[in-house]
C-alpha cells in the first residue's frame, strides 16, 4: 500500500511528536525532513555539495537537535539548489510501498502535493517558544525572538515558503495536550484510510 501523510508546520508546534506517533500507530515509516536540512547545515562548507553528498549516516549526528542546527537548517533551506538536491530523496521515501509519514515545512505543498493526508500543525509563537525553551533552556525572550525570526524566514522565502496546503487539516496545538493532538491526527488519518 502506498499512503503518504504529509505533516507541515512551524518549529516547536508538535509536528515531530505527532508524526512519530502517527507512524507508530499505522506501522508507517517516518522521515523528519528537517533533519536533512539540519544535517546539511551542520556539515558546513558548501551547502549544495553537502546536500548532494548527504548520506544516511549524516542523519545520525548527535548535534542535529540544537538551536544552532535549526538556525543553520533554516538558512540552507532557503537555497534553491539545496532544496532541489533533497526533493527527490523525500519523494522516493514518501511513495515507497508500506506507507510513510513525512514532517517538514513544504511536504503537503511542494514535496507531496498528492499525499493522501495533509496536516498543518501550528501553535502561537509564544507557546512554541516556551516549548523550545523547555528543551534548550537559555533566555526565554531570546528563544521567542529566534522563533519569530525563523518563522519570518521560513514563511517569507521565495522557494517553497511555509504555509498550509489548501486541502490540509489545520491542527492548532496551542491549547492541546500532546495526547489530544496525537488523537486528532490519528483520527484524520484513520478516516482517510477508511474512505479509500
User: What residue spans define the domains of the chain?
Assistant: 4-190
- Residue 3 has which C-alpha cell? 499512503
The verdict on whether residue 10 carries a ligand-binding annotation is yes
Separation of alpha carbons 117 and 95, rounded Å: 13
The verdict on whether residue 11 carries a ligand-binding annotation is yes
- Which helix (H) or strand (E) element contains residue 67? helix 67-76
Non-local (6+) Cβ contacts of 167 within 8 A are 108, 118
The verdict on whether residue 195 carries a ligand-binding annotation is no
Q: Strand order of the sheet with strand 169-172?
A: 29-32, 100-104, 4-8, 117-122, 169-172
Separation of alpha carbons 1 and 29, rounded Å: 12
Nearest 5 degrees, angle CA 92-CA 93-CA 99? 120
Q: Is the dihedral of CA 142, 128, 80, 59 positive or negative?
A: positive
Residue-by-residue DSSP string for 102-171: EEESSIIIII-TT-SEEEEEE--HHHHHHHHHHHH-S-HHHHHHHHHHHHHHHHH-SSS-----TTPEEE
pLDDT of residue 76: 92
pLDDT of residue 183: 98
pLDDT of residue 74: 85
Separation of alpha carbons 13 and 15, rounded Å: 6
The verdict on whether residue 12 carries a ligand-binding annotation is yes
pLDDT of residue 2: 94
Tell which CATH classification among 3.30.565.10, 3.40.640.10, 3.40.50.300, 3.40.630.10 matches the domain 4-190: 3.40.50.300
Separation of alpha carbons 130 and 144, rounded Å: 8
The verdict on whether residue 187 carries a ligand-binding annotation is no
The verdict on whether residue 16 carries a ligand-binding annotation is yes
pLDDT of residue 164: 94
pLDDT of residue 20: 96
The verdict on whether residue 113 carries a ligand-binding annotation is no
The verdict on whether residue 13 carries a ligand-binding annotation is yes
Number of Cβ within a 10 Å radius of residue 125: 18
Separation of alpha carbons 84 and 194, rounded Å: 34
The verdict on whether residue 98 carries a ligand-binding annotation is no
- 168 DSSP assignment: P
pLDDT 10s per residue in the chain (196 long)? 899 999 999 989 999 999 999 999 999 999 988 899 999 999 989 999 999 988 878 888 999 988 888 889 988 988 989 988 999 889 988 998 999 999 998 999 999 999 999 999 999 999 999 999 998 899 999 999 999 998 998 898 877 888 999 999 999 999 999 999 999 999 999 999 998 7
Query: Is 133 within 8 Å of 143 (Cβ atoms)?
Result: yes
The SS3 of residue 22 is: helix
Amino acid at each position: 500500500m502506498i499512503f503518504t501523510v504529509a505533516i507541515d508546520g512551524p518549529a516547536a508546534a508538535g509536528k515531530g511528536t505527532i508524526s512519530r506517533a502517527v507512524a507508530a500507530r499505522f506501522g508507517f515509516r517516518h522521515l523528519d525532513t528537517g533533519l536533512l536540512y539540519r544535517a546539511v547545515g551542520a556539515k558546513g562548507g558548501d551547502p549544495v555539495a553537502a546536500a548532494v553528498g548527504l548520506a544516511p549516516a549524516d542523519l545520525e549526528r548527535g548535534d542535529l537537535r540544537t538551536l544552532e542546527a535549526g538556525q543553520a537548517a533554516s538558512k540552507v533551506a532557503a537555497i534553491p539548489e539545496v532544496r532541489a538536491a533533497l526533493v527527490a530523496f523525500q519523494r522516493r521515501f514518501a511513495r515507497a510501498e508500506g506507507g510513510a509519514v513525512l514532517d517538514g515545512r513544504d511536504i503537503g505543498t511542494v514535496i507531496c502535493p498528492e499525499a493522501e493526508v495533509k496536516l498543518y500543525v501550528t501553535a502561537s509563537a509564544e507557546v512554541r517558544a516556551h516549548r523550545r525553551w523547555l528543551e534548550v533552556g537559555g533566555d526565554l525572550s531570546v528563544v521567542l525572538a529566534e522563533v519569530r525570526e525563523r518563522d519570518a524566514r521560513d514563511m517569507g522565502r521565495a522557494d517553497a515558503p511555509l504555509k498550509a496546503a489548501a486541502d490540509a487539516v489545520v491542527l492548532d496545538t496551542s491549547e492541546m495536550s500532546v495526547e489530544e493532538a496525537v488523537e486528532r491526527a490519528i483520527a484524520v488519518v484513520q478516516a482517510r484510510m477508511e474512505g479509500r
